[in-house]
Homo-oligomer: A and B are copies of this chain.
Amino acid sequence: FRKKQIPEEELVGKILAGNKTALGRAITLVESHQQDHLERAQKVIEACLPHAQRSVRIGITGVPGVGKSTFIEAFGTYLVSKGKKVAVLAVDPSSSVTHGSIMGDKTRMEKLVTMENAFIRPSPSGDSLGGVAQKTRESIVLCEAAGFDVLLIETVGVGQSETTVHSMTDFFLLLKLAGAGDELQGIKRGIIEMADLIVINKADGENQKAARDARLEFKRALNLYPPRESRWQPQVLLSSAINHQGIPEVWEEIMNYLELVQANGFFEANRHEQNKFWMLQTINEHLKKSFYQHPEIKKELQVQLKAIEQKKTSPFAAAKHLIKLWNEV
């Protein structure tokens, strides 16, 4: 049994009409490992591009257990109730071919998943963060063309994936838990520097005092950082996503941010920088790939590594030798 292949024009037409099934199919093409699928995907993306309407792209991160899915469920349903069309994407380089990690989440977004104006898509699977990221970035264009005007890009709070999501979003939200003792320990400084808003979730019941303390501590920490290029001063808010508390305040804060950065030009400048970054990134990946995957280079690389180990050559002379070979093959 094979799905009937829909012509690209038809797919594009349906996407632009807001058809979620067509959107899902197009993303499947983007995520495919088959060359003909990828070529079809590129055609669809290019046709969608001029129609990708203005949206706000919000990155959301937080370690497992912070209540990310519950927060997105509460935040997403709130946004839909305000008339927004909300797409939830994810960047999770650890996700396997079975789309394991965020599928469980979908069951925890039980209300959002049934809403007409919401679209939830698990993280693409892929061998590298770079690959996953590129696919997500292409899916963003498709979601925007389908009329989704708030994009929530979720990521797990480990490794480089935050930086990646930060590089494709307009606003970066860090979810934290209170009461874990010394709040600033174990948090990467870089993440705080990226956060436009810190939300301390599960600020309910017995956690309330700890959450308020954590809020003060984070506010103090944020004050130590130099002013940002966006001129935005990040805040710290409390939420209890499970009780739908603190959610409107988060959206209000994001709107304040958008008002500021759209007025001072940072919004457009930042998007342009991001596009440039992604173009250069794609080129650099390609340059490396074509070099290191060339069979003759591959072979000679091992020879040179051996020679370095035996002090017969230096890393620089070995590099020079390989580049010379590259120019000849």
Contacts and interface: CB of A to CB of B under 8 A. Distances in A.
A319 B286 CA distance: 9
Interface string A115-152: 00000000000000000001001100100000000000
Contact of A276 (B52, B276, B305, B312): B305
A189 interface: yes
Interface stretch (A41-49, A98-106, A170-178): A41-49
Contact of A282 (B137, B224, B279, B315): B315
Contacts of A46: 313-314, 317
B224 A186 contact: yes
Interface string A166-184: 0000000000000000000
A42 B280 CA distance: 31
Tallying the copies of this chain within the complex gives: 2
Q: For the complex, would chain A's binding face be called helix, strand, loop or mixed by DSSP majority?
A: helix
A318 B279 contact: yes
A46 B320 CA distance: 12
A304 interface: yes
A320 B278 CA distance: 12
A225 to B, nearest CB: 10
A17 interface: no
A141 B221 CA distance: 44
Interface string A200-226: 000000000000000000000100100
A272 interface: yes
A255 interface: no
Interface in A272-290: 272, 275-276, 278-280, 282-284, 286-288
Contact of A316 (B224, B278, B314): B278
A24 B275 CA distance: 46
B315 A279 contact: yes
B279 A52 contact: no
Interface string A240-276: 0000000000000000000000000000000010011
Looking at A46, A134, A318, A319, the one whose CB has the most chain B CB atoms below 10 A away is A319
Nearest to A42: B317
A34 interface: no
A113 interface: no
A186 B288 CA distance: 36
Nearest to A141: B314
A322 interface: yes
11 contacts: A42-B317, A45-B314, A49-B313, A138-B314, A185-B221, A185-B224, A272-B309, A276-B315, A280-B319, A282-B319, A287-B291
